[in-house]
Amino acid sequence: MRSAQKPLRSISISINEGDDLGRLRSAFDLGADAVFFDLEDHVPRPKLPLARQNIRTIVEERGSDMPIFVRVNRASRAELLDDLEAVVCPELYAVILPKIEHPEEVRVLDHLLGLFENRAGTEVGSTLILPLLESAQGIRQAYEVAEASSRIAYMGGMVNEHGDPARSIGYQWTREVTETLYIRQKVLLDARSAGVPYPVCGTWNPAADLNGLEDFAVTCKNIGYFGLMTMPIPEHIEIANRVFTPTQDEIDYWAEIIELMDAVSQDEIMPDLVVNGQIIPANRGEWGRIRLALGAAYGVLPSADRTKLVADHVGRASDSWRDLASKGDGNGAG
């Protein structure tokens, strides 16, 4: 049985035809948090039976070690049933449903997964769904898609240089990728408002442009994504893992702030603080706890020898702002 859903910094797309077990196994050596195998675009129809068999073998071998996503055929294709029969098992982490146009496609997949899970003897509801929105119509309905199943733990604005989203929407790819920023933000907002816990974005295609990839990843992180779908290139995966991992300095800082807040809280009411001249309202504590939990998920824990912080002021932020204003210092935090 797979572990519970969790944040993922990198989902490596294994781009091959599924006919070589050795190549499939090599996908686990690249350093990604999760692996994405394909039964759709990259597999010629005559090779589908062998690809299904090989991917099932790999899922059973490695699914308990690392989250495995399998992209099946779209909901309108007859191959979907054979795909699900082949890959649904206790070790499968998630199914990727491509080319979604309407939320009903997700509801159909949710129902089918329940049937195949029951047949496979695995817990009904345990297989997650990652919906791929690859058209203008699908992206427009991102919120409805995200709400269509409680199995959806990951989704996002999946853009690329020359693929289905570019053809459907008509954007012209640039290195700055500002032409897709709205798409990524729109799907992110829809996903989060529907309760999707770990939005992931993608995909950076120029294989040799590592600086461009890092800029893309940083932007995605800054607007709220938890990770990227990546090309199966170790350097791409390393960048995604590094960018989406909280730094040691950040974790140490929040560990100190939360410790200060907990030490002076009264009747479970968290106070505002001033630390090193910076006002830290109590509601920032919740953000700190989120960052500490994310760091822990990736093994970044507060250092035992971290720099200790001291609160200059404990109380209402309004008092601190008045004190600072009287000194001509408007520094504050929201």
Pairing mode, if any, of strands 200-201 and 128-131? unpaired
Containing H/E element for 150? none
Instruction: Say what the pLDDT of residue 333 is.
Output: 44
Structure tokens at 285: 């504590």
Compute the mean pLDDT over every residue in the chain, rounded to the nearest whole number: 92
Residue 2 predicted with pLDDT over 90: no
Sorted by sequence, the CB contacts under 8 Å of residue 329 that are 6+ apart come out as 277
Cα(119)–Cα(292) distance, integer angstroms: 40
In the chain, what are the domains? 10-243 (3.20.20.60), 248-326 (no CATH)
Q: Yes or no: say if 269 and 304 are a contact pair by the CB < 8 Å rule.
A: no
Distinct helix (H) and strand (E) counts, the chain: 13, 10
Pairing mode, if any, of strands 272-275 and 278-280? antiparallel
pLDDT digits (tens, 9 = 90+) for 136-169: 999 999 999 999 999 999 999 999 988 899 999 9
Residue 274 predicted with pLDDT over 50: yes
Q: b or e along 112-128 (b: 16 or more beta carbons within 10 Å of the residue's beta carbon)? A: bbeebbeebebeeebbb
pLDDT digits (tens, 9 = 90+) for 17-75: 999 999 999 999 999 999 999 999 889 999 999 999 999 999 999 999 999 999 999 99
Q: Yes or no: say if 175 and 212 are a contact pair by the CB < 8 Å rule.
A: yes
User: What is the strand order of the sheet 311-315 is part of?
Assistant: 278-280, 272-275, 311-315
Q: Yes or no: say if 41 and 15 are a contact pair by the CB < 8 Å rule.
A: no
Residue 113 predicted with pLDDT over 70: yes
